[in-house]
Amino acid sequence: MVHGLDANSAAQLNAGLARIRERFISSLSDRIDSFYELLSDLQDDTRWAESCAELRANAHKLHGICGSVGFAAIGENAARLEQKIDSLGPDLHRNNIDDVRSLLNCLLDEMEQNLDAA
């Protein structure tokens, strides 16, 4: 039972969380595809800065939901990617992309492992 709730309310809450978790799992494949597109865009000299900004935004969203749906490891990897991009700030240069790419690959590995296990 969830602390402070009667059994019926706790069951409803748990069922709602299970539905959210299922939707999250079903969205993982599309999220992975999107991150792979951005990984590819990091190679493009005309798009890498824009791709980093988009990566940061997507990692931020992913980090935000993962704790709520029980995917802490994905959330931690997303947070590391977001923090790395934030730490580069205005000093983001093409030579920093290897660090970003490495963290993105770790995130993708974690997402794929969880998708396979689901």
End-to-end distance of the chain based on CA atoms, in angstroms? 25
Residue 5 domain-assigned?
no
Residue 41 domain-assigned?
yes
Give the model confidence (pLDDT) of 57-82 as tens digits.
Answer: 999 999 999 988 999 999 999 999 99
DSSP character at residue 46: T
Q: How many domains is the chain built from?
A: 1
Say which amino acid occupies 82.
Answer: E
Per the structure, the complete domain to which residue 56 belongs is given by 27-117
Residue 110 domain-assigned?
yes
Q: Cα(99)–Cα(14) distance, rounded to whole angstroms?
A: 39
Residue 42 domain-assigned?
yes
The pTM score is 0.85
Q: Give the pLDDT score at 7.
A: 85
Give the model confidence (pLDDT) of 29-55 as tens digits.
Answer: 999 999 999 999 988 878 888 888 999
Residue 77 domain-assigned?
yes
Q: Is the pLDDT of residue 3 over 70?
A: no
Q: CATH code at 35?
A: 1.20.120
